[in-house]
Amino acid sequence: MTQLKSEIVAVGTELLLGQIANTNAQWISQQLALHGLDVYYHTVVGDNLHRVQEQFVQSAKRSDVIIVTGGLGPTDDDLTREAFQNISNLKMVEHKESMNKIESYFEKQKRRMTPNNKKQARVFAGANVIENKVGMAPGMIVSYQKKTWIFLPGVPKEMKSMITNDVLPFFRQLTGESKVIKSTMLKFIGIGEATLEHELSTLIQQQTNPTIAPLAQEQGVAIRLTAKADTMDEAATLIEKTQSRIFDKVGTYFYGFDDQSLETKVFDLLREKRMTIAAAESLTGGMFTDRLIVNEGASSVCTGGIVCYDTKVKENVLKIAPETIYQRGTVSEECAVEMAVNVKNLLASNIGISFTGVAGPDPIEGNPPGTVYIAISDSQNGHHVEKFIFQGNRQTVRSKTVQKGYELLLKHLK
């Protein structure tokens, strides 16, 4: 199989301004990966003739296939054709079928066609013209100096139609073989990226197919396994073998695949064990409960929660003993335990979890910002409490607290 380096260039100032996201490049990469084609670069360039030309020159030096989206419309800032013509000196001609389609559209709409719309029907002489089945401007596949250029509209539905119906079949002919790439994400919690990589160093050094790529994530760390094979079944088998070797070394930290979140895993375990949970939240202010109840069927595992930010709420609603508050403080191991036990009993759940601490910026009861206590009370196994010191601003401390709560719950349920 011919191994091609592919690149995706998106043309459009609106992408650089952040007015719209570059979802085209993401989608194209996903489709190419499923067909065994490697994408090495994603590039965005604004609607400036000189900069587009510069980018095309750079892309041609490093890639075999350059897929360009956008800049094929009728307006003055649609400059993709002009930029490529300037670097290639290829002749442009009017594509009769596309021109007929554009004229027919305006006739049916009973609108006068402005002259600049003719620009959309201009193609490079000798190009493999791709019909736009859902829009006006055609796409093109152009071979120039042993590089393949694919020009597509930036409108997602037009681009997707061309990729599916024309570009992917073209790639299969170009490579002479249809390979597939399958990727799987393995997610871990309770182990740092450096430690994970150290534990798997031998496997990583010996990797060939599948490849092993450790990644830091908001919720713990992950490993992306990517296998290339003739069929999806063969790729899946390759991944499963390497996955098994990884689990032998760090399986105790594993919690999910691909898009599975930590809270979804906890939710699934609670439902599997037919257990319910209630939360008493001081500094987290309901964040823990919110992340749990976004799951469909949450009423089967979550009886409720109490946001007990004020001391009086802890006393009057959550029934924390006054002597605990005034002798030990609201930010203490003792208060955290009572919060977990009481919310479990008050809301009739199997498990109670509590969060109390100092989000900042000021100390509370002599405790510095970032001081956090998390307690878990279980009807069958008693209670457990841990103290943490988290770094960061107020919101960061609160987010880290919720994540740590889910991590502790995962260990508890497993």
Name every residue whose Cβ is closer than 8 Å to that of residue 249 and which is 6 or more positions away in sequence. 199, 200, 203
Q: Is the full-model pTM beyond 0.75? A: no
Mean pLDDT of 269-286: 97
**What DSSP character marks residue 237?**
H
β partners of residue 211: 226
pLDDT band at 232 (very low <50, low <70, confident <90, very high): confident
pLDDT band at 1 (very low <50, low <70, confident <90, very high): very low
Of all residues in the chain, what percent carry a pLDDT higher than 70? 98
E-strand stretches of 261-350: 277-281, 302-307
The domain spans of the chain are: 5-175, 180-257, 262-413
Domain 5-175 class in CATH: alpha beta
Quick one: 262-413 is in which CATH superfamily? CinA-like (3.90.950.20)
The two tokens of residue 407 are: 């991590």
One-letter amino acid for residue 23 of the chain: T
pLDDT at 334 over 90: yes
Q: Please, what is the average pLDDT of the chain?
A: 93
**Contact predicate 305/289, CB 8 Å:** yes
Mean pLDDT of 199-207: 92
Q: Which residue has the higher pLDDT, 1 or 235?
A: 235
Mean pLDDT of 226-249: 93
**Angstrom distance (rounded) from CA 194 to CA 212:** 14
* 265-268-270 Cα angle (round to 5): 110
**Contact predicate 12/154, CB 8 Å:** yes
Mean pLDDT of 88-111: 92
pLDDT band at 177 (very low <50, low <70, confident <90, very high): low
pLDDT at 178 over 70: no
**Angstrom distance (rounded) from CA 218 to CA 237:** 29
Mean pLDDT of 137-166: 95
Mean pLDDT of 199-221: 88
Give residue 32's pLDDT. Answer: 86
Q: How many CB atoms lie within 10 A of CB 34?
A: 15
Q: How many CB atoms lie within 10 A of CB 259?
A: 8
Give residue 122's pLDDT. Answer: 94
301-310: per-residue pLDDT in tens?
999 999 999 9
pLDDT band at 404 (very low <50, low <70, confident <90, very high): very high
Give residue 195's pLDDT. Answer: 93
pLDDT at 413 over 50: yes
pLDDT at 361 over 50: yes
Look up the CATH number of domain 180-257.
3.30.70.2860
5-175 shares its CATH topology with 180-257:
no
Q: Which residue has the tokens 């006006």?
A: 136
